[in-house]
Amino acid sequence: MSALHVGQLLTDAVDEPGVEGVIALVDTCHAAGAMPDAGRIAGGVRAGRTRLSVLTAAAADQAARGMRLSFALVEVLREGLAGAGTKVYADRQLTRKLRSRVVGQAVGRFEYDNDPFVAEGLWLARNVGSAPGAAGGPVGPVGLRDLEEAVSMWRADMRLPTPLTRGELDGLHTFAQEGQVDDVADPRWRARVIQVVATLLTCADTVALLNTVLADVLTSELLRDARQLAGLPPDAEGAELLRDLVEYAALRVEGVDEPRWKAPARFVAALAELCGEAEVDAQLRQWARGLGAVTEFNDARTELARKRQQGELRLVVSLAGALTGWPEEVDAWLVGTGERLPVHQRFRCGSADRLGTGRAIGAVLAWARDRLPSPEQLVNVDVAAPAHLLARWQPEEAKVGHRLLGVNHDVVVRWSGRMDPAEENAEMNDAARKTLRGMTAAVAVEWIGVSVLDDRQGLERGLMTGRYDTVVGLDHHPDSLQDTLEQLLPYAPIILWPRSNTRATDALRALVQQSWHSLPDGLAAAYRQRWSAEHKDCGTCLGDVRAVWHDEAWLEFCRPFEQRVVVGPEEEW
């Protein structure tokens, strides 16, 4: 039997000292009549330095039925608001969404914002339809995490604005630098906020520069190659590849007593190295000059150029002559020396067994070292062998001299069948090239089990129809591994399987997926780790994975074998 002056109540509430803002949802008949008087707010105790958002369910002369506004709002908050960032505001976007759901009533909105000393918008709820660090923004998940932590420790009552735009970052930087008279928070956390925001602003500028300077060559593949060359982990990759890599380098790779911008300079130097254009290099060196990181940039350019040249230098050892057992001789090619064709040499094994093969590989290494100019070092060794040896031999464990081959060399295992000059091999390798070029960044391994392998005809049909033409993983170590490899190798360019005493558990599969962008070279380090004393306490590790790997570089090496016509031994490559 009475009425409330809602507009007056809202005016009093928003003018209350200590209240940073008020959001009102008025779901009654004649709701628009509850709109407060902006003039009275401006003339209050706080002189209008406050904020107010009001959503109304109906016009001033209109009835409201069935709590339609409230139910519609609950639906929107449960579903999430597309494109609204991580938080939902009582703004034009929300009002438009509510109007599309509330029939027969005029949903209205009133907004008042006259407080220049706040660093966030007046938000109503968290948006379940959005994720922090979403694609397209200037700040990724790593930066957002650091910034939220610093801001909450500096001022517990402050939240980051959403969406976090470049303008909002600039505003937060200014706000933190100016401070306030009544700021009793720990000044060290204010300094941390300033540092994080300044870093994120520099990262945003760096991303903008790289998008401009590398506009003609910037691809996901280039960025991933630069990530690997710069030594950043696969975890550094995110939804926005360039942004997240730069951000990770700036915020997560900071060693003790190291220059602040050393890691970003190394990543940018890797991009310059891979791009290989003098003009690009000059512009990126100018970027380093602006950050005072010229020395770090130049050091990285020198080191990465040497590392890249070292990566292109490879020794190929082929055991293709081992038709049933161990070979009587091995062939060797030295690739990446600048010669028009790889240098080739054949070596006899003292005995056709494991020991004789190891001694022959040792002779190959000595031959290769003699051909390299000082101070070049041979790191990469490709060992190509037939399926029957791949099934029972780990080439990196071959004893050469006083050590195992894999101690000082990164060994990648290949299948010698792709070097065979048989007529169908050109088609087989072309199919593999097409597959590799079509592979996406997030490669899904096709893990197959006992039931698939037991159905030989079904598996053969799947292979012929292209189902297993990328990466095949065996979820167990088959008793007939040789037969399985012989069936799979002509089709899948990459094959993985667990060691004989290991199963491809969920943990092992996750390790493969997590380490994918470091493979196959990462396997060499995993095998060395497996030999260490610490491995006895290791449950599951990447070193438990065996692999036969044919990448585009290997297929290019095989190309002359596809095209040559063999008449006699004297005409061999």
Per-residue pLDDT of 213-264, as tens digits, reads 999 899 888 998 899 888 888 778 888 889 999 999 999 887 656 778 999 9
Q: What is the pLDDT of residue 157?
A: 67
401 neighbors 358 (Cβ within 8 angstroms): no
Q: What is the pLDDT of residue 505?
A: 80
Q: What is the pLDDT of residue 535?
A: 67
What are the sequence ranges of the domains in the chain? Answer: 6-126, 141-310, 318-417, 420-573
The rounded distance, in Å, linking the Cα atoms of 503 and 516 is 19
Q: What is the pLDDT of residue 569?
A: 41
pLDDT top residue among 132 and 563: 563
Q: What is the pLDDT of residue 257?
A: 65
* pLDDT tens by residue, 364-390: 999 999 988 766 788 999 999 999 999
In percent, how much of the chain has pLDDT > 70? 88
Q: What is the pLDDT of residue 26?
A: 92
CA-wise closest residue to 30 among 53, 63, 77, 3: 63
- pLDDT greater than 60 at residue 75: yes
Q: What is the pLDDT of residue 224?
A: 87
Highest mean pLDDT pick, 105-119, 336-350, 478-492: 478-492
pLDDT top residue among 525 and 121: 525
- pLDDT greater than 90 at residue 135: no
Q: What is the pLDDT of residue 184?
A: 55
Q: What is the pLDDT of residue 80?
A: 82
Strand-pair category, 410-415 with 380-385: parallel
Mean pLDDT of 525-538: 80
Mean pLDDT of 385-401: 94
Three-class secondary structure assignment of 432-501: HHHHHHHCCCCCCCEEECHHHHHCHHHHHHHHHCCCCCCEEEECCCCCCHHHHHHHHCCCCCEEEEECCC
Query: Of 435-449, 479-493, 523-537, which range is least confident?
Result: 435-449
Please give the biggest Cα pair distance in the chain. Answer: 111
* pLDDT tens by residue, 113-129: 777 556 566 788 887 76
342 neighbors 334 (Cβ within 8 angstroms): yes
How many CA within 13 A on the CB side of residue 176?
29
